[in-house]
Structure 1
Amino acid sequence: MSWSPSLPTQTCGAWEMKERLGTGGFGNVIRWHNQETGEQIAIKQCRQELSPRNRERWCLEIQIMRRLNHPNVVAARDVPEGMQNLAPNDLPLLAMEYCQGGDLRKYLNQFENCCGLREGAILTLLSDIASALRYLHENRIIHRDLKPENIVLQQGEQRLIHKIIDLGYAKELDQGSLCTSFVGTLQYLAPELLEQQKYTVTVDYWSFGTLAFECITGFRPFLPNWQPVQWHSKVRQKSEVDIVVSEDLNGTVKFSSSLPYPNNLNSVLAKRLEKWLQLMLMWHPRQRGTDPQYGPNGCFRALDDILNLKLVHVLNMVTGTIHTYPVTEDEGLQRLKTRIQEDTGIPEKDQELLQEAGLALIPDKPATQCISDGKPNEGRTLDMDLVFLFDNSKITYETQISPRPQPESVSCILQEPKRNLPFFQLRKVWGQVWHSVQALKEDCNRLQQGQRAAMMNLLRNNSCLSKMKNSMASMSQQLKAKLDFFKTSIQIDLEKYTSDKLLLAWKEMEQAVELCGRENEVKYLVERMMALQTDIVDLQRSPMGRKQGGTLDDLEEQARELYRRLREKPRDQRTDGDSQEMVRLLLQAIQGFEKKVRVIYTQLSKTVVCKQKALELLPKVEEVVSLMNEDEKTVVRLQEKRQKELWNLLKIACSKVRGPVSGSPDSMNTSRLSHSGQLMSQPSTASDSLPEPAKKRLWTGVGYTQKTRNRVAWSQPRDWSSTLGLWPSHGGSCCSDVLALSSTWLEVSLPCSCCDIHPGPEHGPLQAVLALCVQTRRPPSGPSVCQCQS
C-alpha cells in the first residue's frame, strides 16, 4: 500500500476520519480515530466500478475475515454504528484492527534494509508468515496475492508482529492486464497463476519464497526489472534448484542456486535457508514445497527445524572469522571445543571462550549457556550473542584480519569507478557499497568488543589477585608479630635458664622459626603485583580501552548520505552516472579499517601480556599463603611445646610442697586452693612463727583478710609471666595462679626446711619458685644443694 496525504475531515459520531493508509485491489483503506476512547480502526471501502464477480469476492473476503482468529492475520472489527451510511455504494464496509507499523514494503524501503533485513528480523518474519499461511491452509484458504504490500506490522511487547491482510482475493488475470496493473508485483505471483492454470496451496509457497528472498537480500530473485513476457520466458529456463536469475553490470543473465552476497545471515542459516528456498521456488507446482525428509507440503516443518536451531557464534580473535555452530540442549562445552578445534586448529587445552562481559564459559555447563533467551537487552552492544575465542598459547596477537570480500558489482566499480551505469544498477551497487562500509565498521566493533572482553576478564583476574595480595600481606604481618613475640620470649628463657637439655631444645626451636616468615617472598610478589597494576591502569587509560567512534563512523555516514540523495532523486533526474565519489569513500573505509585493526590488536597483545602475568602470579601467591599457613602452625606448635615444658617444670617443683600441685590448667583451679589452704592454715609452718608484720605481709600478698581465710584472691600474675616467658594460652587462669604463688613468696615466702632461711625478693621470681624444690635437694638447675644456701 502507498501512503497518501490526509483527507478532508469527516466524522461519524465520536469517530473522526484521518489519512488514507493505501489503496488495495478493491478500494481504499482509511484510518479512523475515536476521539472519546482513543481507539483506532482501518476501514476498507470498495470502489463503485467493481465487476459483479469482484463484488461477490469482496463479500466473500468480509465473511472470511470475520471468522478467522490468528495473531498473524489482521483481525476484523465491528463497523461503528452509522458509518455504513457514509459508504459510496451499497457494498458493506470492512473494519479491521489498525497496525501502526505500516506495511512491509515501507519497512523494506528503509535505507538500512537495502541489502536485506537483519538476521533477527528475518527469522521473526518467516515465523509469523509461516504460521499465518499454515493457519489459512488448514482453513482451506489460499491467499494467492502474498507480497510486502499485504503484510502489515504491529509493535508487540518484545518485537514486531507481522500480520497478513487482503484475504480471499484473486485478481482476474488476462494477457492485457499482465503488462499494466501488475507491473512491480508480478514476480510474487506463482507461474501457474500467470499461465491461468489450475492451482493449489503451492501458489502461496512461491509468493512466500519470493518474499523471503527479498527480505534476505534486499531485491527480488528473478530479473526484477524485466517486463512480464520476457521475464516469464527467461525465468522458466532455470533449473529446479536455482533461486536467483540476475543480470550483471555487463547485461549477462546468470542463474545460481546460492544466496547472493551481501546479506546479513550467518553461515549456517544462509546454507539452511538456501536449501529451503530451493523447495519454495521450484517452477513446477507439484514439486514445489516438497521436502526430502517430510515429503509433500513439508516445507513448513522444514522451516520449523531452521527456526528452532540453537546457534552459538564464535569469533576467532586470531583470524577475525565468525564460526557458527548448531548445538543441542544437552551438548557439552567439551564437544563444542572439539568442533572449534576442527575448524580453527586451536587445541582444546589452549582455547579460552569469553562472553561479552568477560566471563569465561563454565566447563560443566552445556554449550547453550551462551545463548540469550531472546528478550531485548539494552546493555548489549552486538546484534548477535558472540563468544570470543582466544588462543592461550599466544603471548602476542598479530594483525591477520582482512576486510570481507566485496560483491561482484562492487569489485567491478572499484576497478572502473568512472564507468557510467543505468540508474537502477547505480542504485543497487551504491547500496552495496554503503553496506560494505557498514560491514567494515561492524567488524571493527566486534573485534574491539573482543578486546574489551579480554580486558574485562583481565580485570576480574586482577581483582582476585588483589584480594589474595591483601590477604597475603595481612597474614604476613600477623605471622611476623607472632614470630617476633616468640623470638623475644625464647631469648628471655635462654638468658634466665641454664638447663642443658632445655637450652638445647629451645635453641632448636629458635633455629626452626628462623626459616619462617616469608618476608622476602612476600615483598617480591607485592612489587610484581604493583608493577602489573600500573600496566593495567595504563591500559584502561588508553583510548582503545573505551568505546569510541572514529573515522569509520564518519565515512559510513557520508556513504549513507550519498546513497540517500541518489534514491531521493526526482524521476526526471534519474540518469546514468559514475561511482567515483562512492568508491573514494569505500577505499578510505578499507584503509581506516586496517589502521584501526592494528591499534585494536596492539591493545589486545598488551592485555594478553598483562593477563599472562596475572595468571603466573596467582599460583605463586597461593603457594606463599599456603607456606605462611604452615609457618603459623609451626610457630604455634613450638610455642605449645615450650609452654608444656615450662608447665612440666613448674609441676615438678610444686609437687614436692606438702601436696601435689598440677601444672595442668584444669587441675590447677582445685589443687591451688587446696595447697594454698594448707600453706596458710598449717599451725606447724614457719609462717606461724613469723613476727606479726611479716604475717601481715603474707596475707596481703595473697589477697587474704582475717575474715576470709577460706578464699584466695591471686594477685600480680602478669608482672612475672613476662619474665618467665609464659603465655597464658588457656584464658590466663592457670598460669596466673602459679605466678601468683611466686609473687606471694617474693613478699615473705616460706623458710627452707633444712636451713630455715627465707628467700627474699633479691632472689627473683624464678628463684622464689625454685625454692619450693629445696626439700628434694634437686633444683631444676645447678648442684643438688639448697637454693637458699647458694
Structure 2
Amino acid sequence: MSGQCGPWICQRILGRGGFGVVSLWFNVETQENIAIKECQLHNTSDKMRTWWNAEVDIMSKLEHDNLIRALPVPPELAPEPSQPPVLAMEYCEGGDLRKVLNLPQNCLGLSEIEIRHLASGVGSAINYLHKHRITHRDLKPENIVLKAVGGRTLYKIIDLGYAKELDINSLCNSFVGTVKYLAPELFISKPYSKAVDYWSLGVVVYECITGSRPFLPDTPPVEWHREVSKKSPEDISARYNNDKSEVIFSQKLPSSNHLCKPLAEHFELWLRLMLRWEPKARGSSRFNCFEILEQICSLKVLIILNVETNCLLSYSVKREDCIRDVSHRISLQTGIPEDEQFIIDAAGFKLDPDEPALKFCSDHLPKELSLFLFRTGMMEIPERENYNLPSNVNTIVKQPTVLLGPKGHRRAWAETVYWLTEEAKIYHQLMLAHGAALLNMMQDNSKLLRQKPIMETEIFQLEACQEFFKTSLDFDINKCKESLEISTHLITVGGQRMMETWTEISDRFNAPYNLVERGKSLIDSIVDRNAAVSSLQRGPEGTHIQVNKLKEFEEKGKELYDWFIQASDQDTIDHKNMVNLIAMCFCQRDELTKTVYSHICNIRKQQQHSESIFKACEQFLCDVKEARAELTTLQRQRQETMWSLIRNPLQPQQTSTGELDSTIQFLPSLSNDLESVQLLMDCREYTQKSNTMLKDMLKEQEQSMVYFSLPENNK
C-alpha cells in the first residue's frame, strides 16, 4: 500500500521489523496522522502469518495508556478480503526509545524524571499483558515509542508480533525476540514463561539508567552466556577489566548516572530481582515486582544542596515526616548539628522545622533545585578536593592520541560528556544557592529597615519624656530651694525630705540619656548595613551569564560526541579536541567557583551582621520599655513625696493651720509675746502658701502622669 488512497497520503516509512512494515499516513481533510502496519507477504512462512494474525487480534483487545492503541482501519486503507489484515495504530511522534538513547545528552542514561516515567509506564504495560495471559517476548528500546500527552512523555510498547497468549504457568519453546535482550534460558532452548519479560524489562531499565546494557554488552552470544552464567543472584552488571582477562561483576549501579541516591539504591534492589539467572527466582515469588517498581517510581525524595561542600543531599520522605526529621538525618550524614543548620528555599525564606517535608519534594516543585543548606556563622571558601576523572576520561587525558577502538572511544567520550554536564550542573547549583542567599540577605535587610522608623519613633518619644521629666524635676527642685530659703524662721522637715528625694531622683536620671545615644548608634548601623547590602546586590559577581561559560563546554562536548558516532572513520579519530575541552573546563570551573563562593561568603557575613544588629535593636526596644517604666516610677515617687508633704507640711506635731490657731488660743504666754505671735502668723501664712503651691504641683503631676502613660501624645 503506497501513494494516495482517497484523502489519505502516505508520507514516509516509519520502520521495518519482524515481518511487518510501518508507514505514516496523513488525512488531508481531517489533518489526522495514523500509523499503518502491513504484513510483508514475500518470503513469509505460515508461522509468520499466524504470528501476524495473532498480533492484529491481540492489539484489537488491548487498552492501556502505555500500549500502542489500535484504531479502526479507514475504509480507503482496508486490504482486499484475500489479503492479510492491516493494523492501524495511533501515531507516536517522539520516535522510539533507541533514538532517544542515542542522543548525546543521554549517552550515560536518561534524566531521573524520564526514568521514573519510563519504568512506571512500561512496567505497568507489561503487568497488564501478564494479567491478560500475554507475554511480549521481544521487549527492547526499538519497541518502545514516545508520545507527548498533557505536557509529559508517555512511553508506549509496540510490536506485539512475538507476543503470545498463554496460561499463567505455561512454558514455551520457540526462540523469538532480539538476542541482546533475551533471557538466558532462551539461548539454550529451555522452556520459558513470562519471566523472560522480567529479564528484558530489567535490561531495558538498566540501559536507560546507565546508557548501556548490564552484562558484557559487546560480547558474542556464546561467550556472553558462558561468562554471565557465573554471576551471583545479586549481581546486576558485568564488565571486562582493562586487559579483558577477567569479568568483574557488580551489585551496584555505576556512579555515572542521573539518579539521586535513594532512587539508585531502590533500583539496585529491584534489578537484583529482575536480573536473576534462574527463571524461577526472577521477579521474586514473594513480592510483586511491578508493585515494587511502582513504589520506587513514586518515591518522594527531598533534595538539598549542602552549599558548604557543593554536594547534593537526598532523602526519601514519608507523609508524616517534617523538616525537623530531615534535619536530624542531615546531622547524621554531614556532622552539622541541627541547631547550626540554616535551610532556605529558592526564594530565600527559612524553612519552618514543623513544615511537612513532602511540601518540598521534587514532584511538587519545578525541575530546578529549590532547597539550600548553610552552616550558621561565618562561611569559609571550601577547597575543591575531588579532581578525579572517570577512568576512561583519565585515560584519554593522559594519552590524547591513544586508539581505543569504536566501543572504547565512544565510552570514553560519553563519560567526558557526562563529566562536562555534571560540572556545568554543579556550578549552576552553586549559582542557585547564591541567588537564594542573596534573596535571604535582602529579606533580612528589609526586616532591619522596618526597624529603623520604629527605633526613631521610640528614641523621639523617650527624649520627649526625658526632657519633660527633667524640666519638671528641675523646676520642682528650684522652687523647693526657694521655699526653703524664704522660710528663714522655720525649716520644715517635709520640705527638706522632699528636697532630698528629688535630688536623689535627679542623680538617677542619667541612664536614659545613654540609652538614646545607643539607639542612635544602632540606627547608624542600619543605614551602613543597607549600603553594604545594596552594594552586594548590585555586584557583578555570580551572575547567570557566567553559567554559560561552563555550559558552552558541555554543548561543545555533545557536538563532538554526536560527530564521532556519525563518523565513518572512527578508528582514526584522536581525543585532542575533547581533552582540550576538559582542560578549559577545569580552569574556568575553579576560577568561577572561587568567585561565587567568595560572594556567598560576603553575603553570609552581611547576614550575620544584620542578625546581630536586629537582635541589638530588639534588646534596645526592650530597654526603652524598661526606661519608660522607670520614668513612670520616678514620676510616681515625686507625687508620693508631694502627697506626703501635704499630709505633714511642717513638723510631725504641727500638721495643719487649725492646730496653729489652737496653739495661739491656748498658749497665753505666747499671746503676750508679740514677737512669738508674729512668728506663728508668719508660719500660718507660709503653710497656706505651701499648700497652694503643693496643690498646683500635684495638678501638674497628674497631668504629667497622663503624659507618661500615653506616649503617643509625644509623636
Select between 298-307 and 639-648 the one with higher mean Cα deviation.
Answer: 639-648
Contact 2:134 2:163 in 1 (8 A): no
Residue 125 of structure 2 is aligned to residue 132 of structure 1: yes
SS at match of 1:42: strand
SS at match of 2:75: coil
**What is the distance in 2 between the residues matched to 1:243 and 1:525?**
64
Contact 1:332 1:366 in 2 (8 A): yes
Post-superposition offset of 1:625: 0.8
Distance 1:94 1:375, change over 3 A: farther
Q: Tell me what 2:384 maps to.
A: 401
Q: Tell me what 1:759 maps to.
A: none
Post-superposition offset of 1:640: 7.0
Select between 618-627 and 185-194 the one with higher mean Cα deviation.
Answer: 185-194
Residue 416 of structure 2 is aligned to residue 416 of structure 1: no
SS at match of 2:105: helix
Distance 1:149 1:505, change over 3 A: same
**What is the distance in 2 between the residues matched to 1:504 and 1:458?**
54
Please give the root-mean-square deviation of Cα atoms over the aligned residues, in Å: 3.4
Contact 1:26 1:47 in 2 (8 A): yes
SS at match of 1:200: coil
Q: Tell me what 2:86 maps to.
A: 93
**What is the distance in 1 between the residues matched to 2:226 and 2:310?**
44
Post-superposition offset of 1:429: 1.0
Post-superposition offset of 1:355: 2.5
Any residues of structure 2 matched to 1:503-582 within 5 Å, and which? 513-517=509-513, 518-549=515-546, 550-569=548-567, 571=568, 573-582=569-578
Post-superposition offset of 1:103: 1.5
Post-superposition offset of 1:89: 6.6
Post-superposition offset of 1:542: 2.6
Q: Which amino acid aligns with 1:246?
A: R
Aligned length: 636
Q: Which amino acid aligns with 2:253?
A: L
Q: Tell me what 1:391 maps to.
A: 375
Residue 22 of structure 2 is aligned to residue 26 of structure 1: no
SS at match of 2:9: strand
Q: Which amino acid aligns with 1:10?
A: Q
SS at match of 1:284: coil
SS at match of 1:82: helix
Post-superposition offset of 1:93: 1.7
Within the candidate set 614, 620, 627, 1:618 is matched to 614
Residue 238 of structure 2 is aligned to residue 220 of structure 1: no
Contact 1:70 1:132 in 2 (8 A): yes
Residue 325 of structure 2 is aligned to residue 331 of structure 1: no
Any residues of structure 2 matched to 1:54-203 within 5 Å, and which? 54-85=48-79, 90-167=83-160, 169-170=162-163, 185-203=178-196
Contact 1:320 1:401 in 2 (8 A): no
Within the candidate set 573, 585, 588, 1:589 is matched to 585
Q: Which amino acid aligns with 2:623?
A: L
Contact 1:399 1:597 in 2 (8 A): no
Any residues of structure 2 matched to 1:289-308 within 5 Å, and which? 289-290=283-284, 295-296=285-286, 298-308=288-298
Post-superposition offset of 1:649: 11
TM-superposition CA deviations, 1:179-201 (whole Å, max 9, x none): xx98xx42112222333322111
Post-superposition offset of 1:545: 4.2
Distance 1:462 1:728, change over 3 A: closer
Post-superposition offset of 1:348: 2.3
Distance 1:619 1:21, change over 3 A: same
TM-superposition CA deviations, 1:584-622 (whole Å, max 9, x none): 221221232222222222222222222221222222110
**What is the distance in 2 between the residues matched to 1:636 and 1:28?**
97
Select between 340-349 and 202-211 the one with higher mean Cα deviation.
Answer: 340-349
Any residues of structure 2 matched to 1:736-751 within 5 Å, and which? none
Q: Which amino acid aligns with 1:59?
A: N
Post-superposition offset of 1:371: 1.4
TM-superposition CA deviations, 1:13-70 (whole Å, max 9, x none): 4x33332222232322222233333333222221112322222222222222222221
Contact 1:223 1:247 in 2 (8 A): yes
Q: Tell me what 1:457 maps to.
A: 440
Contact 2:498 2:645 in 1 (8 A): no
**What is the distance in 2 between the residues matched to 1:31 and 1:88?**
22
Q: Which amino acid aligns with 1:614?
A: S
Greater RCO (CA < 8 Å, at least 6 residues apart): 2
Contact 1:351 1:389 in 2 (8 A): yes
Contact 2:441 2:603 in 1 (8 A): yes
Contact 1:241 1:282 in 2 (8 A): yes
5+ residue gaps, structure 2, are 165-173, 484-494, 649-655, 657-695, 708-715
TM-superposition CA deviations, 1:554-606 (whole Å, max 9, x none): 3223322222221222x3x3323321221222122123222222222222222
Residue 355 of structure 2 is aligned to residue 365 of structure 1: yes
Any residues of structure 2 matched to 1:309-328 within 5 Å, and which? 309-328=299-318
Distance 1:168 1:562, change over 3 A: closer
Post-superposition offset of 1:205: 0.7
Contact 1:318 1:400 in 2 (8 A): no
Post-superposition offset of 1:264: 1.2
5+ residue gaps, structure 1, are 1-6, 172-176, 657-719, 732-790
TM-score in terms of structure 2 length: 0.81
Contact 1:421 1:577 in 2 (8 A): no
**What is the distance in 2 between the residues matched to 1:10 and 1:485?**
102
Select between 317-326 and 158-167 the one with higher mean Cα deviation.
Answer: 317-326
**What is the distance in 1 between the residues matched to 2:179 and 2:387?**
35
Contact 2:207 2:213 in 1 (8 A): yes
**What is the distance in 2 between the residues matched to 1:288 and 1:408?**
33
Contact 1:402 1:594 in 2 (8 A): no
Q: Tell me what 1:287 maps to.
A: 281
Contact 1:401 1:597 in 2 (8 A): no
Contact 2:424 2:550 in 1 (8 A): yes
Within the candidate set 458, 464, 475, 2:458 is matched to 475
Distance 1:88 1:599, change over 3 A: farther
Contact 1:492 1:724 in 2 (8 A): no
Contact 1:354 1:360 in 2 (8 A): yes
Residue 426 of structure 2 is aligned to residue 447 of structure 1: no
Post-superposition offset of 1:213: 0.9
Q: Tell me what 1:666 maps to.
A: none
Q: Which amino acid aligns with 1:535?
A: A
**What is the distance in 1 between the residues matched to 2:706 and 2:604?**
53
**What is the distance in 2 between the residues matched to 1:265 and 1:252?**
31
Q: Which amino acid aligns with 1:29?
A: V
Q: Which amino acid aligns with 2:272?
A: Q
Residue 598 of structure 2 is aligned to residue 602 of structure 1: yes
Q: Tell me what 1:35 maps to.
A: 28
Identity %: 35
Q: Tell me what 1:381 maps to.
A: 368
Rg: which structure is higher?
1
Distance 1:168 1:297, change over 3 A: farther
Deviating beyond 6 angstroms after TM superposition, the runs of 4 or more aligned structure 1 residues are: 640-652, 723-726, 728-731
Any residues of structure 2 matched to 1:635-646 within 5 Å, and which? 635=631
Select between 280-289 and 539-548 the one with higher mean Cα deviation.
Answer: 539-548
Distance 1:64 1:45, change over 3 A: same
Distance 1:484 1:237, change over 3 A: same
Which structure shows the higher helix fraction? Answer: 2
Q: Tell me what 2:665 maps to.
A: none
Q: Which amino acid aligns with 2:520?
A: K
Post-superposition offset of 1:463: 1.9
Distance 1:448 1:252, change over 3 A: farther
Contact 1:551 1:592 in 2 (8 A): yes
Post-superposition offset of 1:211: 0.4
Post-superposition offset of 1:116: 0.5
